[in-house]
Amino acid sequence: MTLEERVALLEAQVRLLLKAGQGNDPAIVSALAKMTSKMHGALQCVLLGQSNADIAERFDVTESTAKVYVRSVAMKLGVKTRSEIVSKTMKTFEGLTDAEYLELSGGVPKTWGSSGEKWNYGADE
């Protein structure tokens, strides 16, 4: 990530933190801003109830690698289970506009998880 991209991401995070009173949990927004684009993809899959096998297919990786993606999301959020990921992030995820999420996620559309398309947002990890 270039310096300019990192600055833009930090600016987006600040804007969203200022909106925290409008339903966005500042701690969750902060955690989302620190996630890589692949982590955002994995998060969306988890929020949709997709299995590790489903995630592996979407990213064209092994199921073990998909588990690593999900564990990484959980670690960023300070939780251990998929249900904790969902309960901790769903309200904030749903409260973000498509444009806000796109900026926060580094270019991953908020609807990617439900699109069924394969991962094509770069190899950031």
Does the structure show a pLDDT above 60 at 125? no
User: What backbone torsions phi and psi does residue 21 show, to the nearest 5 degrees?
Assistant: -65, -15
Residue 105, amino acid: S
pLDDT of residue 11: 78
Specify if 112 maps to a domain. no
Tell whether 124 is covered by a domain: no
Residue type, 36: T
Provide the 10 A C-beta neighbour count for residue 68.
16
* pLDDT of 5 over the 80 cut: no
113 falls within a domain = no
The parent domain of residue 14 ranges over 3-106
pLDDT classification of 7: cutoffs 50, 70, 90:
confident
Total domains present in the chain: 1
- 76 contacts 34 by C-beta, under 8 angstroms: yes
Q: Is residue 114 part of a domain?
A: no
What are the pLDDT digits (tens) for 12-54? Answer: 767 766 665 456 788 888 899 889 999 999 999 999 999 999 9
Q: Kindly state whether residue 75 falls inside one of the protein's structural domains.
A: yes
Angstrom distance (rounded) from CA 1 to CA 114: 26
Whether 95 is in a domain gets the answer yes
Which of 65, 74, 29 minimizes the C-alpha distance to 47?
74
Q: For residue range 49-70, what is the model confidence (pLDDT) as tens digits?
A: 999 999 999 999 999 999 999 9
CATH number at residue 80: 3.40.50.2300
pTM of the predicted model as reported, rounded to 2 decimal places: 0.84
